[in-house]
Chains A and B, each alone.
Chain A
Amino acid sequence: DIQMTQSPSSLYASVGDRVTITCRASQPITTYLNWYQQKPGKAPKLLIFAASSLHSGVPSRFSGSGSGTDFTLTISRLQPEDFASYYCQQSYSLPPTFGQGTKVEI
Chain B
Amino acid sequence: EVQLVESGGGLVKPGGSLRLSCAASGFSFSHYTMHWVRQAPGKGLEWVSSISSSGAYIDYLDSLKGRFTISRDNAENSLFLQINSLRADDTAVYYCARDQPTENFGVIVQENNNYFDSWGQGTLVTVSS
Binding site for B on A (CB under 8 A): 34, 36, 38, 42-46, 49, 55, 87, 89, 91, 94-101
Across-interface contacts of B32 in A (CB, < 8 A):
none
A46 x B121 contact (CB < 8 A): no
* Max chain B C-beta neighbours (<10 A), residue from A34, A89, A95: A95
A34: nearest residue on chain B (CB-CB)?
Answer: B115
- Asked if B117 and A96 sit within 8 Å, CB to CB, the answer is no
Q: Which residues of B contact A (CB under 8 A)?
A: 35, 44-47, 59, 61-62, 95, 100, 113-122
Bound state CA distance, A63 and B61, in angstroms?
A: 30
Query: Bound state CA distance, A49 and B103, in angstroms?
Result: 14
A97 touches B119 (CB 8 A): no
How far is it, in angstroms, between the C-alpha of A18 and the C-alpha of B45 when the chains are bound?
26
Q: Decide: A87 and B122 in contact? CB cutoff 8 A.
A: no
Query: What's the Cα separation between A98 and B46 when bound, in Å?
Result: 7
Interchain CA distance A49-B101 in the complex, whole Å: 12
Residue in chain B with minimal CB distance to A92: B114
Q: A43-B95, A44-B119, A46-B100 are in contact. Are A96 and B47 (CB under 8 A)?
A: yes
Q: Which of B44, B61, B118 contacts A87 (CB 8 A)?
A: B44
Chain A, residue nearest B35 (CB):
A96
For the complex, what is the distance from the CA of A94 to the CA of B33, rounded to whole Å? 14
Task: State the CA gap A94–B59 with chains docked (Å).
Answer: 8
Residue of B nearest to A38 (CB): B45
B117 touches A55 (CB 8 A): yes
Residues of A within 8 A of B35 (CB): 96
Which residues from chain B contact A97 at a C-beta distance below 8 Å? 47
Q: Which 7 A-B pairs have the closest CB atoms?
A: A43-B119, A91-B114, A34-B115, A98-B45, A91-B115, A96-B47, A96-B114
Query: A49 touching B115 by the CB < 8 A rule?
Result: yes
7 contacts between A and B (CB under 8 A): A42-B121, A46-B116, A89-B45, A95-B47, A95-B61, A100-B44, A101-B45
Are A45 and B119 neighbours in the complex by a CB distance under 8 Å? yes
User: What would 13 more interface pairs be, CB under 8 Å, given A34-B116, A96-B47?
Assistant: A36-B116, A42-B121, A43-B121, A44-B116, A44-B119, A46-B115, A49-B113, A55-B117, A89-B115, A95-B62, A97-B47, A98-B45, A101-B44
